[in-house]
Amino acid sequence: AQKGLFDVLEHIISTGKEAHVFVARDTNGNKRAVKIFKKDTSDFKRMNEYIAGDVRFRNLPRDRRSLVLAWTRKEYKNLLIASKARLAVPLPLGFKENVIVMEFIGAGQDGCQRLKDTKPSVKELKSYREQLIDFIAGLYLAGLVHADLSEYNTLVDDDGKGGGPRLVVIDFAQGLLVRHPNARDFFERDVRNCANYFTKAGLETSYDELYAMVKKRKDGIVKNGKT
């Protein structure tokens, strides 16, 4: 608030094991999303799995408070990387200790629905699959793997600027640099999660098929010099 990133904290829009997300407004009335990581009840072992091996957090004390604060910085840094790559993520505006202020996605009191909570048509599913292929490939070329990509942390923004709904990916604290020793395993898990979602939603997609699509898109971006 002292930095001017928001003025009034309004109501909660999301709760989880690791964080609460609130709606806030700045002095001009613009909405912001404020994510507050829990210092006491966060999953210490899970966090450590993603922090360990990250060169950005070498020599980090392994007490719970230090880990939660690093987890916050990690999400902010990962969102910055994705934003600079012009990927569909909330724009990070600032952080302090265990709090991150971000762009608010969507309209209404609670913003956009998660992909999990929608029932898209086959036409929409095809569009969503293309969007996620672009996202996974683009994020990898930007140097990151999301490491927890699924329908649970993908928002559906109906304000698609005339091109239909767009997907916005959230929850980046666990994201890994591609040179992380476990990056390949988590990359493959992201692809598998997405393939499973589309198949369950009515658009048959195998892991091998989606993996090949992502690789082709990634190679195409590199070939066209868009990295």
The set of residues, in sequence order, having a beta carbon less than 8 Å from that of 84 and lying 6+ positions away, is 142
Report the Cα 154 to chain-centroid distance in Å.
7
53: left (phi over 0), alpha (psi -120 to 50) or beta: left
Which residues, in sequence order, are bridge partners of residue 96? 99
Q: What is the pLDDT of residues 177-193, one digit of tens each?
A: 999 999 999 999 999 99
Question: Mean pLDDT of all residues in the chain?
Answer: 91
pLDDT in tens, 49-94: 888 888 888 888 878 888 889 999 999 999 999 999 999 999 999 9
pLDDT at 42 over 70: no
More confident residue, 159 or 89: 89
pLDDT at 41 (0 to 100): 62
166-169 and 144-145 strand pairing:
unpaired
pLDDT for the residue 50: 84
pLDDT at residue number 97: 93
Catalytically active residues, by annotation: 148, 171
- For residue 194, is it left (φ>0), alpha (ψ between -120 and 50) or beta? alpha
Identify the DSSP state of 80. H
